[in-house]
Chains A and B, each alone.
Chain A
Amino acid sequence: NAGVTQTPKFRVLKTGQSMTLLCAQDMNHEYMYWYRQDPGMGLRLIHYSVGEGTTAKGEVPDGYNVSRLKKQNFLLGLESAAPSQTSVYFCASSRSGSSYNEQFFGPGTRLTVL
């Protein structure tokens, strides 16, 4: 079991460039999440998905798009990167939408936008 994996691990973009971050999980989880982590702010939810083919906005969705075409994958896209999107991005998954459930996190993607 690989758990939750993320690619790439590091990326440097120029302002205005686009990119897609890939998250994959092999635990057959229904729910998947994208967070960003910034110093002194904890993790903030960008978008999430409650199942294949569904997506929903989180706390800080502006500037990002997501897709969940397959249950095991959750993609995060930046159409036109801005320096304010420099951050560490974490993907997570959980078995269901119950508040009791643990979320499992990937190792993160460190993105720098110049």
Chain B
Amino acid sequence: LAKTTQPISMDSYEGQEVNITCSHNNIATNDYITWYQQFPSQGPRFIIQGYKTKVTNEVASLFIPADRKSSTLSLPRVSLSDTAVYYCLVGGDNQGGKLIFGQGTELSVKP
């Protein structure tokens, strides 16, 4: 499994754009990059997934450079309710379905 490295914590203010970068130098050819969000007292929930270039949905954007050794989750105009832990996962067919979560990034949004 490709190891991922993220900042442990980040602070932001309401209305700002937040970018969380994840490093995954050993990503395999068939691996996808997936991000989850976890609120206190809840299980993680899927927010976005990508393979290369850029993916956007109603919640976030995911930017993946050509070498795929890193990825950046972008949250536009955050609000207090975006305060959560964000996890970056890398995996695909060769992991046999295994899902390993790293330490995640604890994002704190302040008013």
Decide whether A and B are members of one complex.
Answer: no
